[in-house]
Amino acid sequence: MMSEEVLDDRQRTALLRIARSTIERIVGATSRDDQEDGSGDRPDVKAGAFVSLHKRGQLRGCIGTFDTTQPVVQQVEEMAEAAATRDPRFRPVVESELGDLDIEISVLTPPRPIEDPEEILVGTHGLVISQGFRRGVLLPQVATEYGWDRETFLRHTCRKAGLSDDAWKDPQTTIQVFTAEVFGER
């Protein structure tokens, strides 16, 4: 979904392997010593990332960061652990669930503000909507998965921020867009 892909297939596979082995280690299925290194395929790019966990097609955890000061490998490790253990919408993942989990990684571009909601390209852009201390983020693939149009995408991102559905129309609201290179085990 990024305008140009940053990672090759080997690097994507390495990141997925890192995410899975991190989750396995966190739930006690493996130790750090059992993990494959795969260092030759590790991308050295610095980028934000989201790790989404799905169990039998249903969201099971999703946490991410836009921070670009760390290598994406480190971001994926940290976000995989967070998605498995700290998403407030779900209880922590347990070892018995590992076989049912599918991992999806979104490597992000930095968000940029837009002046006009007409600039939003559904299926290409993710959204960050903020007002005061409230902020909601939805990844680009969410609108596509649910078949949302631009306005529906805006409304749902406002809800995620804890704002009213039409807060995106308020001049005090900031709307930012970003793109993502999305890949997963499925």
- pLDDT (tens place) for every residue of the chain, 186 residues total: 444 678 999 999 999 999 999 999 998 866 655 455 555 677 888 999 999 999 999 999 999 999 999 999 999 999 999 999 999 999 999 999 999 999 999 999 999 999 999 999 999 999 999 999 999 999 999 999 999 999 999 999 999 999 999 999 999 999 999 999 999 998
The CATH number that applies at residue 41 is 3.30.700.20
Instruction: Please tell me the total count of domains within the chain.
Output: 2
Domain that holds residue 118: 112-179
Residue 122 falls inside a structural domain = yes
DSSP codes of every residue in the chain? --SS----HHHHHHHHHHHHHHHHHHTTSS-GGGS---GGG----B-EEEEEEEETTEEEEEEEE---SSBHHHHHHHHHHHHHHT-TTSPPP-GGGGGGEEEEEEEEPPPEE-S-GGG--BTTBEEEEEETTEEEEE-HHHHHHHT--HHHHHHHHHHHTT--TTGGGSTT-EEEEE-EEEEE--
Put simply, whether the predicted model's pTM sits higher than 0.75 gets the answer: yes
104 shares its domain with 116 = no
84 shares its domain with 147 = no
